[in-house]
Amino acid sequence: MRRALLTLALLATPALAQTDPRVARSIALRDQWQWLTRDIAFPAEWDADGRHFHYRKTVAGGFAFVDVDAATRAKTVAFDAAAVAKGLGKALRKTVDPRRLPFEHFAFAGERRAIDFAIDYAPWRCTLTDYVCAPASGEGPRPRGFGVVRDLKVPARNVPHRSPDGAREALVIDDNLVLRAAGGGAEAWRSQDGSPGDFYDPETISWSPDGKWVALYRVRPGYRRIVTRVVSSPKGEVQPVLAEQLYPKPGDAIDQERPVLFEAETGRRVDVSNALFPNPWQLGAISWRKDGRSFAFDYMQRGFQHAGVIAVDAETGAAHEAVREDAKTFIFNERRYAHDVGDQGRELIWASERDGWRHLYLIDAATGRVKRQITRGKWVVRDIAHVDDEQRRIWFSASGVTPGEDPYHKHWFRVDFDGRNLTRLTDGNETHEASFAPDGRTFVDVHSRTDVPEVADVRDAVTGTVLATLERGDVRALAAAGYRPPEPFVAKGRDGATDIYGLVVRPRDYDPAKHYAVIENIYAGPHDSFVPKGYWPFGAFSGGDKAMGMQQIADLGFIVVMIDGMGTANRSKAFHDVAWKNLADSGFPDRIAWMKALAAKDASVDLSRVGIYGGSAGGQSTLNALLFHPEFYKAGVAFAGCFDNRMDKIDWNEQWLGWPVDASYLAASGVVHADKLQGKLLLVVGEQDSNVDPASTMQVVDALVRADKDFELLVVPNGEHTVGRSTGPVAYGQRREYDFFLRALGGAR
């Protein structure tokens, strides 16, 4: 009887948690704090002509958009937000608050008589004359599954491409390139060898500046893998329906692109050998040099270990490597950068990690040899914002330059092509986001720190002098409501030498005499670093939901931490390379060492009760913490995890685990290692996750059941990738997560 009563009590605990005052208080915190800051500016966006820029900032109850005259610095309202909200509300059939418009960015269009923006990634336009809002019309490019497999069920955008003199046009008909007189006139010639299995892509057509040549890509299509999901509870319907998505996965055949060149006058085809770029992951856009005698494109070889820029002679089709990059581990595809100096094909500015740190190089594009290393040192070039070919000068951001400062803080610099006159343009122990004017003469600098709210300045791009201050963030109301910034903490990593950086968030009623379980908020994806460096909780680059969620969990009676371990980006190449074919690592040896160092300094930290939570790649890391480090981590909540990298999207996984698929994919798999589970686990998945195949979660469930492991599962019908982590009027996922941690770890003792 005693055992039966205990079981009933445990089963009743989740229901009791609905009325737990700690849970209710934490969930309510967002509404209490969310709109308390004032004049927190977000990064600026410039008009193409450079005459104006605009930005978003916090105001009472929400946000406002501000437009600035670049010459006078005069500020005005960017548009009538109330009228836009009314127009959007009519189109969306719901009430829209003008202080909380459903977009963060916009661009002026039609001579500033309309604005373009996106709602849930779909393009929209609102006119600023009669305030009519509607989804944007117009044919877009053919979708590509994660960039590497064209969706051939969607017609390509096949608009005629006019020659530079306007007399002729090129397009594709029946998979073949056709050249004819402009306006649908007489056909001059067409290729004859195109077919659905080896077609000419109309979206890649590029004329030479002199109109003598037409270049484009020919494509052998890859495997059209379709993920099918059951929509169990379609809104307004009774019966389930199916949803399909083009979703290439690791190892799948991808589109094979090859450049082909035609002489416009005769139709003579010039083939380009692919010997220098075999098995490409993807080829960049065809870019002609000014003289029309050659064109270039960048490439990445599948496997992410060889990349470069290929230059092609138009007369002969002969190709050479303008620059080549090789790596024993991986080349970070998203951080590749190449700039053709003067569009002449003689010199390139190239970003490389070949000396162990990301730096800029001046390349002789005729030979591919390095003429000069422009930047050097044990620091990292982050963003390249502007290159002035005439002045031979570059503007860029970097982190780790200043000894003693957080190495993730970004500062802005200029440097000459010869490496001289390296000038720091931003100051202070803060992180900076810059938006440069199209002419590169000025930039808007939004800077802050986790304990210093945003300030937005206009600076001179040559000297860094502040020309005007646009906004100063006001957080007095937030502080009065009880908000306190997180605590930075630095400790040595697994090697006993490398500094590992993180943040600590404590409950507002923290008592140093008590003992607190620790919960780690983890995201260890190798594509970036993730511990916020800007002001919390609603600053320009803070990750507001991330910060707020940590405080909400802390207020339950926990100490919450976030850490950037080895394997994440924005440090040295060696620091990053820890992730190569090693996603199971997730920086755990560094994270555990960091938390042990924190406990050594703070007796209130109870490492006998450590929990962890994360979504997507963070969900995978959460499960792996319980599989591979159960001696340390005792409970975890994994949202929308990519638990087996063979099941996830092709681009992210092949970038870090390589190609072809090998044993490294199995080493990180929560399915393969499910039998190792110890501790308490809650899995949360959205039925309609379009980012990570939800079958990845269900395969873990299957493996755990077969291994006879206990766990909890929450499947949300119609839920997308952010299910359980997004906020709503019910905050159901939050409540379940908070209840789980209270049951699994307890609070303060």
pLDDT digits (tens, 9 = 90+) for 617-646: 999 999 999 999 999 999 999 999 999 999
* 733 phi, psi to nearest 5 deg: -60, -40
Nearest to 66 by CA among 87, 41, 47, 48: 41
* 121 phi, psi to nearest 5 deg: 75, -5
Tell me what pLDDT residue 6 has.
Answer: 31
Residue 493 lies in a domain: no
How far is Cα 606 from Cα 559, in angstroms, rounded to an integer?
9
Residue 436 lies in a domain: no
Q: Are 331 and 304 in contact (CB under 8 A)?
A: yes
pLDDT digits (tens, 9 = 90+) for 64-79: 999 999 999 999 999 9
Tell me what pLDDT residue 14 has.
Answer: 45
How far is Cα 299 from Cα 219, in angstroms, rounded to an integer?
15
Tell me what pLDDT residue 31 has.
Answer: 84
Residues 651 and 512 occupy one common structural domain: yes
Per residue, the 3-state secondary structure of 280-319, as one string, reads EEEECCCEECCCCCEEEEEEEECCCCEEEEEEEECCCCCE
Tell me what pLDDT residue 277 has.
Answer: 97
Tell me what pLDDT residue 7 has.
Answer: 30
Residue 195 lies in a domain: no
Contacts of 157 (CB under 8 A, 6+ apart): 139, 140, 141, 142, 202, 203
pLDDT digits (tens, 9 = 90+) for 347-381: 999 999 999 999 999 999 999 999 999 999 999 99
Domain that holds residue 49: 45-138
Last residue of a domain, one of 341, 373, 405: 373
pLDDT digits (tens, 9 = 90+) for 687-696: 999 999 999 9
List the structure tokens of 48.
């193409």
Nearest to 177 by CA among 70, 269, 66, 61: 269
Tell me what pLDDT residue 725 has.
Answer: 61
Q: Quick one: average pLDDT of 325-353? A: 97
Q: Quick one: average pLDDT of 203-229? A: 98
CA atoms within 13 A on the CB side of 68: 25
Last residue of a domain, one of 103, 119, 138: 138
Q: For the chain, what is the radius of gyration of the CA atoms?
A: 28
How far is Cα 269 from Cα 597, in angstroms, rounded to an integer?
66
pLDDT at residue 279 is higher than 50: yes
How far is Cα 304 from Cα 126, in angstroms, rounded to an integer?
41
pLDDT at residue 114 is higher than 60: yes
Between 222 and 35, where is the model more confident?
222
Beta bridge partners of 500: 491
Residue 708 lies in a domain: yes
Q: Quick one: average pLDDT of 567-586? A: 98
* 549 phi, psi to nearest 5 deg: -60, -40
- Burial label, 746 (beta-carbon count in 10 A; 0-12, 13-18, 19+): middle
pLDDT digits (tens, 9 = 90+) for 395-411: 999 999 999 999 999 99
- What's the DSSP call for residue 658? -
How far is Cα 288 from Cα 291, in angstroms, rounded to an integer?
8
Q: Where do the H-state alpha helices sit in 635-731?
A: 650-657, 663-667, 695-706
Residues 717 and 577 occupy one common structural domain: yes
List the structure tokens of 498.
């490398």
Is the pTM value of this prediction over 0.85? yes
Residue 428 lies in a domain: no
Confidence of residue 12 (pLDDT cuts 50, 70, 90): very low
How far is Cα 20 from Cα 18, in angstroms, rounded to an integer?
6
Tell me what pLDDT residue 728 has.
Answer: 53
Tell me what pLDDT residue 730 has.
Answer: 58
Length of the chain: 749
Residues 721 and 575 occupy one common structural domain: yes
Tell me what pLDDT residue 647 has.
Answer: 98
Tell me what pLDDT residue 5 has.
Answer: 31
Residues 368 and 506 occupy one common structural domain: no
Q: Are 312 and 271 in contact (CB under 8 A)?
A: no
Residues 506 and 369 occupy one common structural domain: no
How far is Cα 302 from Cα 95, in angstroms, rounded to an integer?
48
Last residue of a domain, one of 108, 138, 168: 138
Which run of H or of E encompasses 2? helix 2-17
pLDDT at residue 656 is higher than 90: yes
Domains held by the chain: number: 3
Tell me what pLDDT residue 546 has.
Answer: 67
Which run of H or of E encompasses 734? helix 732-745
pLDDT above 90 covers a percentage of the chain that reads 91
- Burial label, 607 (beta-carbon count in 10 A; 0-12, 13-18, 19+): middle
A 10 A CB-CB count for 421 gives: 9
Tell me what pLDDT residue 723 has.
Answer: 82
How far is Cα 672 from Cα 696, in angstroms, rounded to an integer?
12
Q: Quick one: average pLDDT of 99-127? A: 95
Peptide bond preceding 234: is omega within 30 degrees of 0, i.e. cis? no
Residue 235 lies in a domain: no
pLDDT at residue 10 is higher than 50: no
pLDDT digits (tens, 9 = 90+) for 484-499: 999 999 999 999 999 9
- Tokens 């080493």 found at: 667
How far is Cα 697 from Cα 713, in angstroms, rounded to an integer?
9
Q: Quick one: average pLDDT of 280-286? A: 96
Q: Quick one: average pLDDT of 222-251? A: 97
Reduce the DSSP state of residue 332 to 3 states and report it.
Answer: coil
Instruction: Name the residue type at position 431.
Output: T
Reduce the DSSP state of residue 492 to 3 states and report it.
Answer: strand
pLDDT digits (tens, 9 = 90+) for 503-526: 999 999 999 999 999 999 999 999
Contacts of 462 (CB under 8 A, 6+ apart): 414, 441
pLDDT at residue 541 is higher than 60: no
Tell me what pLDDT residue 732 has.
Answer: 86
The domain that contains 686 carries what CATH number? Answer: 3.40.50.1820
List the structure tokens of 662.
């090998």
Average pLDDT, the chain: 94
Residue 177 lies in a domain: no
pLDDT above 70 covers a percentage of the chain that reads 95
Q: Quick one: average pLDDT of 427-436? A: 97
Residues 653 and 506 occupy one common structural domain: yes
Contacts of 622 (CB under 8 A, 6+ apart): 522, 612, 613, 614, 636, 637, 638, 641
Q: Quick one: average pLDDT of 200-222? A: 98
How far is Cα 545 from Cα 538, in angstroms, rounded to an integer?
8
Reduce the DSSP state of residue 515 to 3 states and report it.
Answer: coil
Q: Quick one: average pLDDT of 81-88? A: 98
Residue 542 lies in a domain: yes
Residues 712 and 567 occupy one common structural domain: yes
Residues 363 and 505 occupy one common structural domain: no
